Amino acid sequence: MWNKNERDGKTDQAKGEIKEVVGNVTGNDKLKAQGKVDQAVGKAKTAIGGAQKAVATAVAAVAKPVKP
């Protein structure tokens, strides 16, 4: 299951890809650049979300009680 940052990151990446394609088709360099920025932001959010998930998993593994 994705956390909020991973979900938002994937959404930003998809939005950026659409903007970039529309910018290419219409010849709108500003829209194309915005698309690339949105994709980069999305990748960063996804990476942060993945790191959060890894830390949470590690903490949960350490926090499990030891059974004798």
Q: What is the pLDDT of residues 17-31, one digit of tens each?
A: 999 999 999 999 999
Q: Residue 63 has what pLDDT?
A: 78
CA distance 39 to 33: 10
CA distances from 60 to 13, 55, 66 (A): 30, 9, 12
Element spanning 28, H or E: none
Residue 53 lies in a domain: yes
CA distance 1 to 44: 18
Residue 20 lies in a domain: yes
Question: What are 56's two structure tokens?
Answer: 């949470």
Residue 26 lies in a domain: yes
Q: Residue 62 has what pLDDT?
A: 84
Residue 68 lies in a domain: no
Overall domain count for the chain: 1
Residue 10 is part of which domain span? Answer: 4-63
